[in-house]
Structure 1
Amino acid sequence: MIAAFIGAIGVGHILRTRMRDWMRNLSGRPKWQLRYLLAVEKRLTLIVWAVALWAIFFVMQEITWPSRSYLIEVCARIVTAWILVEFLAQLIKNRPLRRLIRWGMWIYVTLYLIGGLEHTTAFLDGLAVEFGDFRLSMLAVLKALIVTALLFTVARVVSMQTSSQVRKNEDISPSMRVLIVKVAQVSLYGAAFFIGLKAVGFDLTGLAVLSGAIGVGLGFGLQKVVSNLVSGIIILLDKSIKPGDVISLGDTFGWINTLGARYASVVTRDGKEYLIPNEDLITNQVVNWSHTNDFVRLDIFFGTAYGDDPHKVRKIAVEAAKTVDRVLVTRPAVCHIVGFGDSSVDYILRFWITDPTGGLTNVRGAVYLALWDAFKENGISIPFPQREVTVLNEYDTPTDVID
């Protein structure tokens, strides 16, 4: 066995070098394939050692001394089990958790194959703390951790699959999708925790009393957190705000990126991401530009000279607005006189768009530019304030002012 291990080190080093050079030329492969190839590359010494041990074992069984191959068979089984554990551990994406499970399974399969599992179990069960009728042993703690970890893994896989299926269902509104995913996650992880404790014999009655007392204390200290949590559930239920909606809250204008348990993520046009507490979305006035539909009316103001025909100006302004790509032609644009200013006749131009997520300032700018081109083409001027300044000398000063 020692000779086979020394030979496996040399052969494994050569194979690892060649495999590493081959892997550097790979491109476009899925991450899971690369992760398994990397695991094979790291464990090539163990793989070569296992192959050598099984080869020696079968040779001794057929040719030489079958009765003296027992230790070689046990060692070959252990090394093979280590390799299988390594590949199964690659299913866990979290690196610290993967490392912990790998070492735990290595110890377990080694003890099982050498027949020391019962003695180890009895030893861990003897390491216990007793309080009256309550007894907590190291074995119970390990069982609770293992069972709970397995249940959490199953809950995570089921939660991911449920989330994927719910998000693909177009018949469910975006807000209800988020709510269903959150409820499924909380239910699955909560069930995994309590089932894991119950499976190893923990009495949950005392835990329920303790959790109730802790809940009362936390209720006073975490009022804002609970308020945001409840507000988030209300938002998801009444569908007033959902992912993808364009909202305005104070000076913040953007679209809802995600709805969390405590806050909503709002992304603005300049790339800033605001984390707005759910309570603010319930208690404050929120403008939802796409609540019932995506139609949004925009207003812009301008003025023309008094010498220009207002009937012609209104017609040209409406036609100019319709030339902008994002302005709807199915909904009428209108232009009205709103006042007679000091230097101009003031107008308001109203038009509709259906994609507020594309921004509002840019479409207003495009309409202003279309107005500029149309007015220039039709000889309509846009006036600006002008002032006449008269300079008086001392001989032009009125006599009544001097007196």
Structure 2
Amino acid sequence: MQFDLSSQPEIVQQAYGYAVQGWELALSWLLSPAAWSQFALLVLAWLLAGVIARKLKPALHALIDPGEGENLFATPRRFILPYLALISPLLAYALTGIGEGIVRSLFDSGAVIAFGKRLFLFLAARALVRDIIKDSFLKLLGRYILLPIMAVYALGLLDVASAALTETIVGVGNIRFSLMTLVRGLIAGSLLFWLGQWSNTQTTALIAKNEEMRPSIRQLLIKTAEFSIFAIAFLLLMNIMGINLSALAVLGGAIGVGLGFGLQKIASNFISGVILLVEGQATVGDYVELDGGEQGKIVKMMARAAILETFDGRWIVVPNEDFITTRVVNYSDSGSANRYEAPFSVSYDTDINLVPSLIEAAVAKHPEVLDLPYPPDCELRGFGDNGIDFAVEFWVNGLDDGPNKYTSDVLFLIWNALKDAGIEIPYPQRVVEIKGGLPKVDT
């Protein structure tokens, strides 16, 4: 059946032409004894591969599976185990390849056999994506990139599609490339992105295990490795796409102008972050207080900013530049001790000469209170309205935060020591003088 499609778009005419060719090929296969024998060979190869796979899989699984043991080869063996799902289609491909030579010698034709081999490869790719790949990103690439490509290859149209994409040229500015280059760059870029992420994760874990390094140096090495990995990935991608890096000179100049004007803050924060990591003035795990009053523990340092976590669980994003250009108080730099004080008052009836030694001895019993750089020190602070004011200063390794209630514990010790010594902690009190005496009441 023929249709006149001369008035239709070219893509419709091409699709119709391919459909007609496919229909004629199918008819030729249906009416050809050679084609039927090749179909029979494909079915036989698939059934035989299934039988062999059912016998072979349990034996290979028992041989490869390391069980619960841990040794040098346990991880590679566990990695290989899921690939046993590919045995059946790959065996069918191999058996078909063996029979292909016989069929071609008898019938001087092997088109159906070639189609079957491509179909078995498609089934292997489908098993790979469905049963073996566990990473969500790789599974996504397999489902929407690998399987469509394998389907086109199985139909024998891969060369046609490749030629059409290669002939279609697009341009951006002074850069011109084909759609095939774009598709190749998309596939390669996706794989390089995943590989870069995986490499960065492994490198970060390896560097983080080295506790002999200063935390700031570890962070600097982690960031350096991250930028190096993705810079290499970018250069590889440009090479795969066939883009001359000199063609990006104009784009690089535009980026340079942007950094000089609109992106100068980002550049400043990036350089400040590098300075922080090199000097180690503030790093992950330090508790800091900024000039603006923000306080918290540094939980993450990024290229542009650091993240502080407060005691109430909030995250504060602080630009790296603030650590360089403003005053920063670091309460935990180099693991140094911190001094706190606990104020209290005693009654005016107290012999205040006994209080310092009593309180210092009581506070020194706390297991976290240090003798160095200074032991607990009780000082007289003044004579208040309600009592005599004292404060005890003490040093601890750590912060008086939610998990560490140093001041609260010390106040408990002070209370118990004063109670045991019979020293009164005064209530608020006032002396009221009524001039002229109290008014007389008539009875």
**TM-score normalised over the length of structure 2:** 0.69
SS in 2 for 1:189: helix
Are the aligned partners of 2:400 and 2:407 in contact in 1 as well (CA < 8 Å)? no
Correspondence for 1:314: 356
Q: CA deviation at 1:231?
A: 1.9
Are the aligned partners of 2:90 and 2:120 in contact in 1 as well (CA < 8 Å)? no
SS in 2 for 1:356: coil
Instruction: Pick from 396, 406, 409 the counterpart of residue 363 of structure 1.
Output: 406
Distance (Å, rounded) in 2 between the aligned partners of 1:187 and 1:94: 25
Change (3 A) 1:284 1:209: same
Are the aligned partners of 1:86 and 1:102 in contact in 2 as well (CA < 8 Å)? no
Distance (Å, rounded) in 2 between the aligned partners of 1:208 and 1:92: 40
Are the aligned partners of 1:227 and 1:279 in contact in 2 as well (CA < 8 Å)? yes
Correspondence for 2:313: 271
Correspondence for 1:333: 376
Change (3 A) 1:252 1:366: farther
Distance (Å, rounded) in 1 between the aligned partners of 2:302 and 2:349: 58
Are the aligned partners of 1:53 and 1:72 in contact in 2 as well (CA < 8 Å)? no
1:383 lines up with 2:432 in the alignment: no
Instruction: Pick from 382, 387, 390 the counterpart of residue 344 of structure 1.
Output: 387
Correspondence for 1:24: none
Distance (Å, rounded) in 1 between the aligned partners of 2:400 and 2:187: 48
SS in 2 for 1:335: strand
Letter in 1 for 2:183: L
Are the aligned partners of 2:93 and 2:120 in contact in 1 as well (CA < 8 Å)? no
Change (3 A) 1:211 1:86: farther
Correspondence for 1:238: 279
SS in 1 for 2:368: coil
Change (3 A) 1:150 1:57: closer
Deviation string 1:132-151 (CA, Å, 9 cap, x unpaired) is: 99642112222222333333
Correspondence for 1:103: 144
Deviates more, 1:142-151 or 1:163-172: 142-151
Change (3 A) 1:394 1:247: closer
Correspondence for 2:397: 354
1:177 lines up with 2:215 in the alignment: no
Instruction: Pick from 194, 206, 209 the counterpart of residue 250 of structure 2.
Output: 209
Identity, % of aligned pairs? 32
Are the aligned partners of 1:152 and 1:193 in contact in 2 as well (CA < 8 Å)? no
Correspondence for 2:233: 192
Change (3 A) 1:93 1:299: same
Change (3 A) 1:145 1:245: same
Pairing of 1:2-401 with structure 2 (within 5 A): 50=89, 71=112, 74-75=115-116, 77-84=118-125, 86-87=127-128, 91=133, 93-95=135-137, 98-112=139-153, 115-129=156-170, 135-249=176-290, 250-329=292-371, 331-356=374-399, 359=402, 362-391=405-434
Distance (Å, rounded) in 1 between the aligned partners of 2:421 and 2:345: 15
Letter in 2 for 1:334: D
Change (3 A) 1:381 1:235: same
Change (3 A) 1:67 1:78: farther
Q: CA deviation at 1:371?
A: 0.5
Deviation string 1:202-229 (CA, Å, 9 cap, x unpaired) is: 1221312222213312442233333322
Q: CA deviation at 1:239?
A: 0.4
Query: CA RMSD, aligned part only?
Result: 4.3
Letter in 1 for 2:194: T
Distance (Å, rounded) in 2 between the aligned partners of 1:395 and 1:136: 105
Change (3 A) 1:114 1:357: farther
Change (3 A) 1:132 1:80: closer
Are the aligned partners of 1:175 and 1:237 in contact in 2 as well (CA < 8 Å)? yes
* Structure 2: stretches of 5+ with no match in the other structure: 1-38, 48-79
Distance (Å, rounded) in 1 between the aligned partners of 2:176 and 2:337: 67
Change (3 A) 1:357 1:99: farther
SS in 2 for 1:339: strand
Distance (Å, rounded) in 2 between the aligned partners of 1:256 and 1:192: 30
Change (3 A) 1:235 1:92: farther
Q: CA deviation at 1:396?
A: 7.3
Correspondence for 1:26: none
Q: CA deviation at 1:346?
A: 2.1
Change (3 A) 1:238 1:59: closer
Deviates more, 1:324-333 or 1:182-191: 324-333
Q: CA deviation at 1:99?
A: 2.4
